[in-house]
Every structure is written in C-alpha cells, then in structure tokens.
Amino acid sequence: MEFHEKRRQQFLVEPHYRKQLDILREVIAGQETNLSEPEENEKGWHASLLSGIAGDKLIRHLLHYTAGEPIEPLRSELEEVIAAYERYGEHLWKYTGDRNEVVFKFYSLDDYCELMQLIGLCFLLHRRDLLPRLAALQDGLDAVGPPGEGNGGCDWVYEELMSFGLGAEKRFESEQICCSKPYEYLADALSSVDNVAALKDLNLFLKHWYKDLAGTGWHDSHKADENGNQGGYFGYWSFEAGAAVLLLGIEDDSSLHKYLYYPKDLVAWAKENADRFPDGGLSTKTDKQRANVPAGSPCPESGWWFTPAQSGSRRYFKQGTVMPALGSDYGDTYWQWSPDQSAPTL
C-alpha cells in the first residue's frame, strides 16, 4: 500500500515522515550521549535532557500512528514511552529533592495534553497495566495532604479517567478542571446520564478541541513555511475522546468520524480486540504476566519470544541469554513473551 493510502492524516507526507524519524533518531542519540557528561555548573541539565528524550519518544510514537503503521507494535512502543518518562521522573525528583513533584504539570496546556493522550492510549491499546506507572508520576509520595499540598484530586478529568482503569476506591475526589477549555466538555461526557447525551458532549469536545488548544507548541505545525517545509508536525489526535467512547460503551461512534483528530481506526481496533485483552493487558487467569524485555538485557525465562519491531521475529531464548537489538524505525527493541510456545514444524 502506498504511503498516501495508509496514512491516517492527509497532512503527513512521506518525505517529512522519514526526515522526522531520522531527526528524532539523531536527537535522541545525542541527548543520550550528553547524559554521560557531568552537569557541573548546569544543575538540572540531565533532567532536562531526559525530559526531551521522553517527549521525543512520544512524538515518534505519534508519528508512527499518523503514518498508518500497524497498531499492534504500538502496544510495546507505548511502554517504552512511559519508561522514558519514568526515567525523567527519577532525575527530576533527585534534582528537586521532592518526590511529590509531578512529571506532567496540570496547569501547563502542553503537559496536560500529553497526559490525556497517554491515558487515552493506555485504554485504546489495551495497556491498562501501564496506568499505575503513569499515576505514580503524578501522585507522588503524599497524594493526600493539607489543602493545596497533596497531589490527589488535582484534576477531575484525570481522576475520572484513572478511576476507570484503577478503580474509584484508589483515586481521589476533585472539584476542578485545570484546563477547562476544551476539557470541560469531556468531563460532561464522562458524567452524562446516558450515551446519547455523552455523544453530544463528545461532539462539543471535539468541535472545540483543536481551536481551544491553540496555545500548545504543536498547534498549526502542519502548515508549511515559505520554503515548503513543514514544522515539527507529528499528528493531531484526541486519544482521550476515543478512550471515552470505549469506556462508556458507546457502540455507534460514527457521528465523531467527521473530526480529523478523532482516532476512529484505533477505537475500532480496541473494540475488535477487547476479547484478546479482557483485563486491558493485565495478567490473565491462564498465564502469568511477563514484562517486556529491552534488548541488551538477559532473558528472564527460557521460551519463545518475539518483538513487534520486526515481522517473523519469534525465536527461542535460554534464560540468561542477552536479547539482541534489531534495527527498526520503531526505535529500541523490546521482546515480548510469545503466546505460542510450540516449536516450529520442520
């Protein structure tokens, strides 16, 4: 299939996509190299570098989706993105000396959008197992504290979405929406009395979504400059709207398909694959949960493993064997335990 036929937004052209991937690869590699240099008089530099790496890995993730790449590999790539933010969080807390510092600032429009997108992706890609790790980046050690000091309940939309994945009993009451425009409409949808009302609210949310987010760094990035070059465009997506459709059990979402940034095919994939991941990617009754293993790490258990970064990659590893890296546009290689543990027939 030609690139223009599989891409998920018409603004993305193949030369820009390939160029952006090359740039991201070089930038991330450069940032990793700079981490080996001492901070000396630039305290907090390493935390800044790690923030950049995490943000760039999220951009790469969104580029892959926008370009029409297969959805299945994005499940493991999302974990790589979350892990990059965790790495940044550890350095942030070390630098500030405060483990209650949030990784995504609720009152920063860019941060808030990223947080909502990541939560939405956890639901749509059936990776609810990543939600506790995402919550740990925001909750801090003292989630409940004196008024204005505890992180719990900082934002209603965040708490409501997290309650779907983690259980309301594990979340906190909130009476505020930090970025009311356009997210108040999403809040209305999540608290609607029925799905007819919810769809009306989601339509309002998506109608205002792009316009109300004009203050973000990525807004209008698809527009070319005088030389015909696009900026840092990587796609515009309201994954949180798709997650709301999934969580509310809305069967017919066709009224939302007119919005360019509604991820209709990812919502369809999530619905079609719900039986494969009945617990949202958590461990099942028939098999224990096995974490994905990054290349360069020893194999934790003998058996058949595969990586979504390369088709036909399933192979047998003995426990302790160093798992190899495979060159791919998807970045770092992560190996997954194969559901098929049978040896191939000769």
Per residue in 133-186, pLDDT (tens digit) is: 999 999 987 666 555 556 888 999 999 999 999 999 989 999 899 999 999 999
Note whether residue 253 is domain-resident.
yes
Domain endpoint, select from 272, 305, 336? 272
pLDDT value for 283:
41
- pLDDT band of residue 284 (cuts 50, 70, 90) is very low
Domain endpoint, select from 244, 272, 300? 272
Q: Is 164 exposed, middle or buried (0-12, 13-18, 19+ CB in 10 A)?
A: buried
Note whether residue 284 is domain-resident.
no
Residues 197 and 338 in one domain: no
- Between residues 280 and 19, the one the model is more confident about: 19
Note whether residue 340 is domain-resident.
yes
Domain endpoint, select from 207, 239, 272? 272
Note whether residue 153 is domain-resident.
yes
pLDDT value for 290:
64
Note whether residue 156 is domain-resident.
yes
Residues 153 and 197 in one domain: yes
pLDDT value for 287:
41
Q: Which domain holds residue 342?
A: 290-346
Whether 274 contacts 250, CB under 8 Å:
no
Q: What is the pLDDT of residues 106-145, one digit of tens each?
A: 999 999 999 999 999 999 999 999 999 999 999 987 666 5
> What are the start-end ranges of the H helices in the chain?
3-6, 14-34, 45-66, 72-96, 109-124, 131-139, 156-166, 180-190, 195-212, 239-248, 264-272
Residues 68 and 208 in one domain: yes
Three-state DSSP class for residue 134: helix
What domain count does the chain have?
2
pLDDT value for 161:
97
Residues 197 and 132 in one domain: yes
Residues 307 and 208 in one domain: no
Residues 212 and 73 in one domain: yes
